[in-house]
Structure 1
Amino acid sequence: MENRKIIGVDLGGTSIKFAIVTQKGEILDQWSILTDISDNGVHITPSIIESIQTHMDKNNYTSSDFIGIGMGSPGTVNQKDGTVIGAYNLNWTTLQPLREQIQGALNIPFYIDNDANVAALGEQWVGAGAKEPNVVFITLGTGVGGGVVLNNTLIHGAIGAAGEIGHTTVDPDGYPCTCGKKGCLETVASATGVVRVATDKASTYEGDSPIKDAILNNHAVDTKMIMDAAKEGDAFSLEVVEEISDYLGLATGNIANVLNPSTIIIGGGVSKAGEFLADKIRHYFSQYAFPTIRESTNIRIAELGNDAGVIGASSLVLNESVHEHITK
């Protein structure tokens, strides 16, 4: 058992990442393939099976060398049945019986969860969470997702929708969200949201700013450019980042008041702004968090980057296999 390994799979709309991971969370080997979403995504699962089988054959692995396969997937995941539905960026509109197909083909136990939940497990295990039992993970990417780990257990909620931090309301009169609500955190703190806030501000901001000028002249501007300009003292960009940080401080403050985690981890592409962004979030967090919670909660930048998914998927295998053993 001690030498058996885990296969972690991070299923994304562009690529599928794989890793062979030890029971201590160390990556021994990793590779990736492109995600073929053609024909309503029917090629995705067979390509996962083929890629794992090819890697096993090449390295003389057998199914008995592995405790299990863990996967993080977009869409609505049923952990118990091992199925996914509604992963629209994969063109999966019908129910996908992943466990039945993958476990059936490879004869290795298969476990699956939502991709943001899985990344939360990875960061909690060997990333910025440092094995602390109560950790919240927020990922600021194309959208805003999250995962909640309490008492070393991933929280799913009544219908598996716990951790939808991106749809926390931070401005009741704010931008319309793709979910149908208004003023969700995702509308202002995602990569596209930051640019949206900057674009709105540009039309009324009176000072000089190369970023403002670029926006008004319809030049391409992204979140990294805004964050970099703010770091260099561009007053317009600083104003944008302050507003974004206020929204994030409000959301994290309310999350902490309800859940009392020891650490809130900020990940995703927007988090590449690093401690510059974290310090600003901490400032606003202190305004919204209950005093004792304010003093006991750390806000940290994620450490695992693109490896959070495959490492978290591996952690999922350990957690679930131990749980199965206890309940038998």
Structure 2
Amino acid sequence: MKLAVFDIGGTNIKCGSFQDNKIASIEKFATPKTFAGLKLQMHRFIDQHNFDGIAISAPGAVDKSSGTIKGISAVPYIHDRPIFKELQEEFSLPVAIENDANCAGICEVNIGAGKKFTNVAFIIIGTGIGGAIFINKKLYKGNHLFGGEFGLMQTSDGGTLSTRATIVKAASAYERQTGIDNIDGEKLFLLADQGDKLAQDLIDKVYNYLAVGLYNIEVSFDFDALIIGGGISAHKGFSAEISKRLYAELVKNKVSEIMPEVKECQYHNNANLYGAAYNFISDYAIEVGNGNN
């Protein structure tokens, strides 16, 4: 079995060829402005190969029962249209689509950091916070497809986890308070390591907000593991610090016995592509593992 896999983002689209449980021929192109442009770019990749299906990771609330993507995103033309049917007819191939955060989680639960666990929360930290919930290794999306939208959890000061608990927001706060431009997450960590008190305080707040957020997630579901994704998860010591602070919250509330494993995601930038492929495999009930499909 050979799949064309696509990861649709607001700025770029990544694509590759999935076969024998590996992704090859990874390419990237600018996200087209129209649906017609998207199909044209997909043709340019798909027509070079002999694919058996198309697997897509996309923003938004993917409703498989209606074959549509609900919600809003930076790619407006993919929403509220019969996109499953349109792409199947366009390419004469079976199509599977799932939300991008869910795809990243599917990857980690199937072949990554969450592989050995049964009940897992995948938390992705970027400009905002999203994620996915897995119960008995099955994706739980909820009645309204909002399962795993951890970033919408409210904080005690009237914000949300997405507006309070990301390094991106902390870096922006540093820029506002100092007048210094071009501060990103890595630069903020570097400043903190060099003794910058403001940078240290801003990062400390991020860790504290995350610890409380993860505490709420853990006491709600009692997960085996929390898998941390997003670019910042690769920063040395990030997951370990979150784990330490989460444990402190659990101890404070006398529930330390439910402490989960907190692990950095394994697949990082290619998680969405792999997750899209494994979502296709699940949707079409295809057996994999021996490399002979």
The answer on whether the counterparts of 2:4 and 2:15 sit within 8 Å (CA) in structure 1 is: yes
Q: Determine the structure 1 residue equivalent to 2:115.
A: 130
The answer on whether the counterparts of 1:10 and 1:16 sit within 8 Å (CA) in structure 2 is: yes
Q: Determine the structure 1 residue equivalent to 2:47.
A: 54
Secondary structure of the equivalent of 2:244?
helix
| 1:115 aligns to 2:100 (yes or no) | yes
Deviation at 1:30, TM superposition (A): 1.6
CA spacing shift, 1:107–1:274, aligned 2, 3 Å? farther
Secondary structure of the equivalent of 2:155?
coil
Q: Work out which of the two has the higher radius of gyration on C-alpha atoms and give 1 or 2.
A: 1
| 1:265 aligns to 2:236 (yes or no) | no
Deviation at 1:233, TM superposition (A): 4.2
Secondary structure of the equivalent of 1:89?
coil
Aligned-pair identity (%): 25
The answer on whether the counterparts of 2:31 and 2:38 sit within 8 Å (CA) in structure 1 is: no
In structure 1, how many angstroms separate the alpha carbons of the residues matched to 2:20 and 2:122?
A: 22
Deviation at 1:196, TM superposition (A): 4.5
Paired residue type of 1:284: R
* Length, aligned pairs only: 283
In structure 2, how many angstroms separate the alpha carbons of the residues matched to 1:316 and 1:232?
A: 44
In structure 1, how many angstroms separate the alpha carbons of the residues matched to 2:202 and 2:273?
A: 33
The answer on whether the counterparts of 2:175 and 2:183 sit within 8 Å (CA) in structure 1 is: no
Aligned positions of 1:311-322 closer than 5 A:
311-322=274-285
In structure 2, how many angstroms separate the alpha carbons of the residues matched to 1:102 and 1:23?
A: 24
| 1:183 aligns to 2:159 (yes or no) | yes
| 1:43 aligns to 2:6 (yes or no) | no
Query: Once the two structures are superposed, what CA deviation does each residue of 1:138-173 show, in whole Å capped at 9, x if it has no partner?
Result: 1111221111111111111001111001111232x2
Query: Once the two structures are superposed, what CA deviation does each residue of 1:190-243 show, in whole Å capped at 9, x if it has no partner?
Result: 34322245467xxxxxxxxxxxxxx42343322221112223444432222221
- TM-score norm. by structure 1 comes to 0.79
Q: Determine the structure 2 residue equivalent to 1:254.
A: 216
Query: Once the two structures are superposed, what CA deviation does each residue of 1:122-142 show, in whole Å capped at 9, x if it has no partner?
Result: 122222213423221111112
Deviation at 1:185, TM superposition (A): 0.5
The answer on whether the counterparts of 1:143 and 1:191 sit within 8 Å (CA) in structure 2 is: no
| 1:216 aligns to 2:178 (yes or no) | yes
Paired residue type of 1:169: Q
Paired residue type of 1:103: Q
The answer on whether the counterparts of 2:68 and 2:79 sit within 8 Å (CA) in structure 1 is: no
Paired residue type of 1:221: I
Aligned positions of 1:138-177 closer than 5 A:
138-171=123-156, 173=157
In structure 1, how many angstroms separate the alpha carbons of the residues matched to 2:95 and 2:202?
A: 44
Q: Determine the structure 2 residue equivalent to 1:17.
A: 14
Secondary structure of the equivalent of 1:122?
helix
| 1:231 aligns to 2:193 (yes or no) | yes
Deviation at 1:262, TM superposition (A): 1.7
User: Of 249, 256, 270, which aligns to 1:307?
Assistant: 270
User: Of 243, 260, 266, which aligns to 1:282?
Assistant: 243
Deviation at 1:83, TM superposition (A): 1.4
| CA-atom RMSD in angstroms | 2.3
User: Of 190, 194, 204, which aligns to 2:170?
Assistant: 194
Q: Determine the structure 2 residue equivalent to 1:178.
A: none
Query: Once the two structures are superposed, what CA deviation does each residue of 1:14-59 show, in whole Å capped at 9, x if it has no partner?
Result: 11111212353x213322221112xxx3334413541343232xxx
Deviation at 1:94, TM superposition (A): 5.3
The answer on whether the counterparts of 1:73 and 1:115 sit within 8 Å (CA) in structure 2 is: yes
Secondary structure of the equivalent of 1:284?
helix
Paired residue type of 1:31: E
In structure 1, how many angstroms separate the alpha carbons of the residues matched to 2:44 and 2:117?
A: 34
Q: Structure 2: which 5+ runs fail to align?
A: 287-293
Deviation at 1:120, TM superposition (A): 0.7
Mean Cα displacement is larger for which, 104-113 or 306-315? Answer: 104-113
Deviation at 1:88, TM superposition (A): 3.2
